[in-house]
C-alpha cells in the first residue's frame, strides 16, 4: 500500500466542472474539449509534468449551484483533486468559491465572467483565465469611445447586463465619450422595439450592447433601421453559436474575445490544427480556447514548481505568472488573480463559405488597455 500512496503522490488530479446538460451545454462541452487539448499541448502529449502524471475528471454541474457544489465536493473529497477548473455559469462558479477556500485548493475559473468572482466574493485560491465583464466593457469602450462621441447602451435587465454597462460607462466616460441613454430590457421579452425606439430618439453615434443568451435583439435592431439613421451598433462577437444569430449585424464594429483566426500565435495555430484533426474539421470556438488556456495555466504553474503541489507555493508562483495561450499572452494579476489578456477590436464581415459573420481584426487591444479595475478590496 505504500506503493499506491507514492503513486498517488505522483499523480496530479484536476477536477473540471462544466455544464454538460441544460441551456449552457455547448459552453461546457467546449471547455472540456479545450481542456483536454490544452493538457496535451502543455505536456507535449505526455500528460506528465515534472515526472508526475496529470489526470483530469469531468463533472456536469447541470447549471445548478447545488449540483455544482455536490459534484465539486465529490471531486475534492473522493477523487482528492488538486485543482478545480470551472465553470460554465457564474452562479455555479460563485457557489464553488467557498469550497476552494475551505479545501485550500486552487480553482481556475473558466469561463464564468461575473466581476464579483474576482471581486467581492474572491478568495486567494481563485485564479481566472477567462476574461471578466469589466474587461469586456473596457475593450468595448476602447473599440468605440473617444472624445465627444455619444453612446447609448442596451442590455438585459439582469446582473450580467447591469454590471457590463456600469463598467462600460466608466471606461467610455474616461475616454471622453458621453452616455446619452441606458436601456435595459426584460431578458425574456419578445419585443424590444420600445427600447430601440427610445435609443433612436436620442440620436447617439453608437449603440453599445451587452447581451448573453438566446433571446437576442439583433433582428429587431436591423428592422428598426438603426444603421440607416446613423447609429452604429457595437457589441461583443462571442462564440460561434451567437455569431450565427448575428447576421443582421454585419458591418458593425465591436470587439472579439476569441475567434480561431484572431490571435496570431503558434499556440492557437496548434489548437486550430489539432481541433480540426480531432473533431472532423470543426474549428475551435471561444470556450475551447478557454478550456485550453485553463489547462495551460495549471501545467505552466506546475512546471515552475517542478510538480510541487503545495498550495501556497503554487499561489505565489501563479501570481504575476505570464503564459502563452491560444488567446495570446496572459498574466495573472497579483491583486485579484484575474488574467490580463488581449481582446480584439473587430468588424463583422460576411465571408464566402462561412455560415456566420466573421469578426475581422481592426486592432489588438492589449492587456494593459483592457485591464479592468481591481474590485476585491471592497
Partner 1 sequence: MEVFINLLVNGVSTGLLIFLLAAGLTLIFGLMSVLNFAHGGLFVWGAFSGAWIFKETNSFLLAIAGSIAIGMVLGWVLERFLIRPVYGNHVRQLLITLGGMLVLSESIKIFWGPNPIRVNLPAWLEGSYQFDGIIIIKYRVFVIVVGLLLYLALWLLLSRTQIGLMIRAGVLDKEMVQALGINVKGLFTFVFLLGAGLAALGGALLAPYSGVVFAEMGMQYAILAFIVVIIGGMGSLQGSALASLIVGVAGAFMAYYMPDLSLALNMLLLATVLLVKPTGLLGEKGSAV
Partner 2 sequence: MRGVVHKVPLYWGLAILLFMLLFPFVNDSRSTLILLTQIFIFAIFAMSFDILLGYTGIVSFGHCMFFGIGAYSTALIFNQLDATLPNFILGLVIGILLSALVSYIIGLLSLRLKSHFYAMLTLAVSQLFLVLAEKWRGLTHGGDGFTFSVPDIFKDRTSFYYITLISVAIVFILLKLFTESSAGKVLKAISQNEYRAEALGYKSLQYKLIASVTAGVAASFSGSLYAVSLRFINTNVFSIEVTLDALLMTMIGGLGTLAGAIAGAGIIEFLRHYLSELAMIYPIFERWTIILGFLYIVVLLGFPSGLAGFIKKFTSKKGRKEKKKREVGKAA
- Which residue ranges make up the site for partner 1 (CB under 8 A)? 23, 25-26, 157, 183-186, 188-195, 197-198, 201, 214-220, 223-225, 241-242, 244-245, 247-248
Least Å from the CB of residue 18 to partner 1: 13
Give the HSE-up count for residue 260: Cα atoms under 13 Å, Cβ half-sphere.
18
CB neighbourhood size of 154 (10 A): 25
214 makes contact, choosing from partner 1, partner 2, none, with CB < 5 to 8 Å by partner type, with partner 1
Least Å from the CB of residue 223 to partner 1: 4
Q: What are phi and psi of 180, to 5 degrees?
A: -95, -20
Q: Which CB sits closer to partner 2, 126 or 318?
A: 126
Q: Kindly write out the interface string for residues 84-123 of this chain, putting x where it contacts partner 2 by CB under 8 A and - elsewhere.
A: ------xx--xx-xx---x-----------x-x---xx--
Contacts of 218-225 with C-beta under 8 Å, sequence gap 24+, read 218/245, 218/246, 218/247, 218/248, 218/249, 219/248, 220/191, 220/192, 220/193, 220/196, 221/192, 221/196, 221/248, 221/249, 222/248, 222/249, 223/193, 224/193, 224/196, 224/197, 224/200
Query: How many Å apart are CA 246 and CA 136, to the nearest integer?
Result: 18
Among 21, 178, 198, 265, binds partner 2 (CB under 8 A): 21
Q: Is 340 in the site for partner 2 (CB under 8 A)?
A: no
Least Å from the CB of residue 188 to partner 1: 5
215 makes contact, choosing from partner 2, partner 1, none, with CB < 5 to 8 Å by partner type, with partner 1
343 makes contact, choosing from partner 2, partner 1, none, with CB < 5 to 8 Å by partner type, with none
Query: How many Å apart are CA 325 and CA 42, to the nearest integer?
Result: 10
Least Å from the CB of residue 27 to partner 2: 15
Q: Is the CA virtual torsion 257, 260, 265, 266 positive or negative?
A: positive
CB neighbourhood size of 346 (10 A): 22
Q: Is 136 in the site for partner 2 (CB under 8 A)?
A: no
Residues that bind partner 2 (CB under 8 A): 20-21, 58-60, 62, 64-67, 69-71, 73-74, 77-78, 90-91, 94-95, 97-98, 102, 114, 116, 120-121, 157-160, 162-163
Amino acid at each position: 500500500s505504500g506503493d499506491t500512496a507514492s503513486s498517488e503522490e505522483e499523480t496530479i488530479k484536476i477536477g473540471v466542472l462544466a455544464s454538460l446538460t441544460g441551456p449552457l451545454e455547448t459552453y461546457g462541452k467546449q471547455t472540456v474539449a479545450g481542456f483536454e487539448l490544452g493538457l496535451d499541448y502543455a505536456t507535449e502529449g505526455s500528460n506528465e509534468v515534472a515526472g508526475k502524471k496529470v489526470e483530469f475528471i469531468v463533472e456536469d454541474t447541470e447549471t445548478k449551484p447545488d449540483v455544482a457544489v455536490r459534484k465539486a465536493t465529490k471531486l475534492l473529497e473522493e477523487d482528492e483533486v488538486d485543482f478545480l477548473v470551472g465553470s460554465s455559469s457564474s452562479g455555479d462558479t460563485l457557489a464553488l468559491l467557498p469550497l476552494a477556500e475551505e479545501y485550500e485548493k486552487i480553482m481556475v475559473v473558466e469561463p464564468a465572467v461575473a466581476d464579483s468572482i474576482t471581486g467581492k466574493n474572491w478568495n486567494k485560491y481563485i485564479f481566472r483565465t477567462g476574461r471578466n465583464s469589466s474587461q469586456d466593457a473596457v475593450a468595448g469602450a476602447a473599440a468605440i469611445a473617444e472624445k465627444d462621441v455619444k453612446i447609448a447602451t442596451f442590455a438585459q435587465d439582469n446582473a450580467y447586463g447591469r454590471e457590463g454597462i456600469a463598467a462600460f460607462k466608466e471606461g467610455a466616460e474616461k475616454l471622453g465619450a458621453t452616455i446619452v441613454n441606458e436601456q435595459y430590457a426584460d431578458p425574456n421579452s419578445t419585443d424590444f422595439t420600445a427600447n430601440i425606439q427610445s435609443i433612436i430618439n436620442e440620436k447617439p453615434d453608437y449603440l453599445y450592447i451587452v447581451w448573453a443568451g438566446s433571446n437576442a435583439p439583433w433582428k429587431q435592431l436591423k428592422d428598426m433601421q438603426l444603421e440607416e439613421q446613423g447609429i452604429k451598433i457595437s457589441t461583443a462577437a462571442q462564440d460561434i453559436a451567437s455569431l450565427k444569430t448575428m447576421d443582421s449585424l454585419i458591418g458593425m464594429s465591436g470587439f472579439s474575445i476569441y475567434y480561431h483566426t484572431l490571435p496570431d500565435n503558434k499556440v492557437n495555430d496548434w489548437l486550430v490544427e489539432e481541433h480540426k484533426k480531432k473533431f472532423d474539421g470543426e474549428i475551435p470556438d471561444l470556450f475551447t480556447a478557454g478550456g485550453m488556456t485553463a489547462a495551460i495555466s495549471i501545467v505552466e504553474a506546475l512546471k515552475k514548481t517542478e510538480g510541487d503541489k503545495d498550495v501556497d507555493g503554487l499561489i505565489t508562483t501563479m501570481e504575476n505568472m505570464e503564459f502563452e495561450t491560444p488567446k495570446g499572452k496572459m498574466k495573472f494579476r497579483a491583486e485579484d488573480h484575474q488574467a490580463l489578456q488581449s481582446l480584439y477590436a473587430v468588424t463583422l464581415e460576411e465571408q464566402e463559405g462561412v455560415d456566420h459573420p466573421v469578426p475581422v481584426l481592426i486592432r489588438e487591444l492589449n492587456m494593459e488597455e483592457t485591464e479592468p479595475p481591481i474590485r476585491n478590496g471592497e
